[in-house]
Amino acid sequence: QRLRSIKEPEELELIQKACDITEKGFRRVLQFTKPGVWEYEIEAEFMHEFLRNRSKGFAYTPIVGAGKNANVLHYISNNMQTQDGDLILLDVGAEYANYSSDMTRTIPANGRFTNRQKEIYNAVLKMKEEATKMLVPGNNWYDYHKECGKIYTSIFLDLGLLDKADVQNENPDWPAYKKYMMHGTSHHMGLDTHDYGLLTDDFMPNMVFTVEPGIYLPEEGFGIRLEDDVVIQENGEPFNLMRNIPLSVEEVEDAMNA
């Protein structure tokens, strides 16, 4: 576990390369996507770009979930047609030299977010930024996820998704925020996408984690998740291996309408 948890510089280079290939695939998909394309066509665009760049393909079964499909956590059918107004959740990553990358982005089929979609998107972005700040040496798995839960609860109260009564009466084993964000925020990543790693020790430099919060609103017909891969540093915030991949509303819209 220790061997797999703490990455050598050579391993970090290969993971960075996998992330860079994922970026190329995503930029291509941003240009390709429009209402009416099928989820599997988007998957094919990623696959072609990955293979062109000497990746063997996907690091894991890709998720391309348009509209309500984004609310199915491990949706892999990828066989629906996208509609105007849909958001499309893309959870994909290239493999390179046996090392994984793991990215999630959520994009508007028509290249423009609605105001409501933007509101939820920016909330997820804030969740991700706040969670990322806590991936530092000395913190640990249990406290990290507990603090993430507090941050998410606060954001969901601000959005009006939860009220004070929901929080006061919550089941400690299944807190109120889990109605809208029901999975973990991070996992180890390396040779496996969900890598074998230390969960009982404190975080240490050169551990690689995903950061992937989401908000899922089946009653509104969409879900949003955003995910990057980061390396824990000796000091300060982790290093984002996906720092060059479009993430903000503006970056995504600009790339789709270029």
User: Domain boundaries in the chain?
Assistant: 2-256
For the chain, give the percent of residues with pLDDT over 90: 99
For the chain, give the percent of residues with pLDDT over 70: 100
pTM of the model: 0.98
What's the alpha-carbon Rg for the chain, to the nearest Å?
18
Task: State how far the Cα of 99 lies from the Cα of 128, in Å rounded to an integer.
Answer: 23
Task: State how far the Cα of 83 lies from the Cα of 95, in Å rounded to an integer.
Answer: 30
Specify the length of the chain in residues.
258
Tell me: pLDDT of 39 over 90.
Answer: yes
Q: Under CATH, to which class is 2-256 assigned? A: alpha beta
Q: What would the mean pLDDT of 78-95 be, rounded to a whole number?
A: 99
Are 85 and 110 in contact, with CB atoms under 8 Å apart?
A: yes
Task: State how far the Cα of 92 lies from the Cα of 63, in Å rounded to an integer.
Answer: 6
CA max distance for the chain: 53
Contacts of 250 (CB under 8 A, 6+ apart): none
- Tokens 């991936």 sit on residue: 135
